[in-house]
Amino acid sequence: MKKLFFFVFILYSFWSCSLGDDTDSFNYEFVPIENVTIADTLVLDAVHTVVYSYYRPTSCHGFHDLYYSAEDNERTVAVINAVYDNSDCEPLEENSDNLIERTFNFKPLNTGTYVFKFWQGLDENDEDQYLVFEIPVED
């Protein structure tokens, strides 16, 4: 998780410097992943589609990138939104009309068990919370 915060810090530092009279200023923010659909077992060297969804908090939030960290057989995944500084931002309700669904592909290259950790936000003690899947790989 330290890598996650370092990555965001670097991105924020890079984009926080203004060289001109930009009217479109923005920053980056992690958005909790709500749901994940992933296979119960994976097949070695086969491509698997992972479906994840999240809510867009305001009308000023837009998908920027997917944070994806790989260490051995563990994968940490989080959604990064660009948040545009605009006084016309409207809060969006958490309903099916506002649930964004996206996908990424995963191809296991090792046998064993892969652990996927999907970031779901911070708890009351500012501890990272994850939706965790432990998925075996078949030959």
Residue pLDDT, tens place only, 104-114: 999 999 999 99
Distance CA 113, CA 116 (A): 10
Task: Please report, for the chain, the start and end positions of each structural domain, with discontinuous segments joined by +.
Answer: 2-16+25-138
- Report, at the CATH architecture level, how domain 2-16+25-138 is classified: Sandwich (2.60)
pLDDT confidence band for 63 (50 / 70 / 90): very high
Asked whether the predicted pLDDT for residue 120 surpasses 90, the reply is yes
Mean pLDDT, rounded, for 12-38: 74
Distance CA 116, CA 76 (A): 6
The DSSP secondary structure of 56-86, one letter per residue, reads: --BTTEEEEEEEEEEETTEEEEEEEEEEE--
Distance CA 21, CA 68 (A): 33
Distance CA 114, CA 92 (A): 35
